[in-house]
Chain A
């Protein structure tokens, strides 16, 4: 959905990261592009392993010549700091591989969108115009300031955060019970140990 919005404004082609097999073809396509936008989910505070594998392979193969690089990292937590490593990672990749880092966008609370439009985001009033501005920077080929996503960060406050924790946990527990699981049972892999040793 986010990439469709970029394509609508800036043009280009959307390619998907294959979960298996060779990444050579994708790296070749990246080399031929003038502008690259990398978008993906946040797994434990940075990109998933498969995307890191692509970056490692692209750095190893080389052959980049100043391509403009933008990034979008999208995760469940509403905070910027839990996602920021992903953008730092792209910046280091660009520095080491001869690309030109142009900045990125952190979309916290994005997992709850689950494929729906950005207008359904819980902080849409700020996120929608900020992301539109980000897309305009891509279309113009200009650097994007971190302030775009920083100012769109949701600050729910302690009371609302406590409510979110309760609500989200209640949804998780309901789902687990529907599948016949006890949320407080020892992990399946602990087997007969039942505890750390």
Chain B
């Protein structure tokens, strides 16, 4: 299963990607997080302690977390904001700590963490039509850092024109074929 988490504040982007993935033969589930009640992570530490693996904030993230925990592929789709994702999508990323492995591992000589359960593929798609070259580079670097610290596979894409069916098709194809 593929889960798409999108900030659709400025367009119906998540649905477009869901359709492109469907045409490429992949079943996906789409959540427009800008329409959901997802509160910021308070950093309470409960998910790595008293309620290990479970977030205690009672909001719509409780609906998303079972899907993210169970999916093989996670796609974050966001307008590119200051070289990263929007705060709507970042709220989901922050709250995903409940799905993280709180232990430390060694990869390429550095400390990393990881996700509970093996085999997650992690993608970020940034809508970057107004972004500078430096912002695009920062977006790709952010994904690479996320990928390393979560110890998962995947890559980032930058989409200039969300209405460009060929570009969307190409991204869907790469996600499906991975």
- How many B residues are at the interface, by size bracket? 35 or more
Interface residue? A169 (CB, 8 A): yes
Q: Once the chains are docked, how many angstroms separate the CA of A19 from the CA of B41?
A: 9
Q: Once the chains are docked, how many angstroms separate the CA of A168 from the CA of B106?
A: 12
Q: Once the chains are docked, how many angstroms separate the CA of A89 from the CA of B82?
A: 5
Q: Is there contact, CB below 8 Å, between A53 and B66?
A: no
Which chain B residue shows the least CB distance to A169?
B103
Q: Once the chains are docked, how many angstroms separate the CA of A56 from the CA of B138?
A: 17
Which chain B residue shows the least CB distance to A183?
B103
Which residues of chain B are near A90, meaning CB under 8 Å?
A: 82
Provided the pairs A49-B87, A190-B69 are in contact, do residues A43 and B103 lie with their beta carbons within 8 angstroms?
no
Interface residue? B58 (CB, 8 A): no
Which residues of chain A are near B97, meaning CB under 8 Å?
A: 43-44
Q: Is there contact, CB below 8 Å, between B94 and A92?
A: no
Contact with A along B146-174 (1 / 0, CB 8 A): 10010000000000000000000000000
Shortest distance between the CB of A57 and any CB in chain B (Å): 9
A68-101 interface (Cβ within 8 A of B): 77-79, 81-82, 84-85, 88-90, 92-93, 95-96
Provided the pairs A53-B87, A158-B109, A169-B104 are in contact, do residues A189 and B81 lie with their beta carbons within 8 angstroms?
no
Q: Is there contact, CB below 8 Å, between A181 and B52?
A: yes
The size of the chain A interface, using a CB distance under 8 A, is: 54
Number of CB contacts from chain A to chain B under 8 A: 167
Q: Once the chains are docked, how many angstroms separate the CA of A34 from the CA of B50?
A: 44
Which chain B residue shows the least CB distance to A88?
B138
Provided the pairs A190-B66, A197-B1 are in contact, do residues A77 and B86 lie with their beta carbons within 8 angstroms?
no
Interface residue? A172 (CB, 8 A): yes
Contact with B along A137-175 (1 / 0, CB 8 A): 000000000000000000000100110110011001101
Q: Once the chains are docked, how many angstroms separate the CA of A82 from the CA of B43?
A: 18
A77, A183, A196 pick with most chain B CB within 10 angstroms: A196
Interface residue? A110 (CB, 8 A): no
Provided the pairs A189-B99, A191-B66 are in contact, do residues A176 and B117 lie with their beta carbons within 8 angstroms?
no
Provided the pairs A48-B94, A56-B86, A196-B119 are in contact, do residues A187 and B69 lie with their beta carbons within 8 angstroms?
yes
Provided the pairs A44-B149, A187-B69 are in contact, do residues A89 and B117 lie with their beta carbons within 8 angstroms?
no
Q: Is there contact, CB below 8 Å, between A85 and B84?
A: yes
Q: Once the chains are docked, how many angstroms separate the CA of A190 from the CA of B71?
A: 10
Q: Once the chains are docked, how many angstroms separate the CA of A44 from the CA of B53?
A: 17
Provided the pairs A49-B87, A188-B52 are in contact, do residues A19 and B40 lie with their beta carbons within 8 angstroms?
yes
Interface residue? A186 (CB, 8 A): yes
Which residues of chain B are near A20, meaning CB under 8 Å?
A: 39
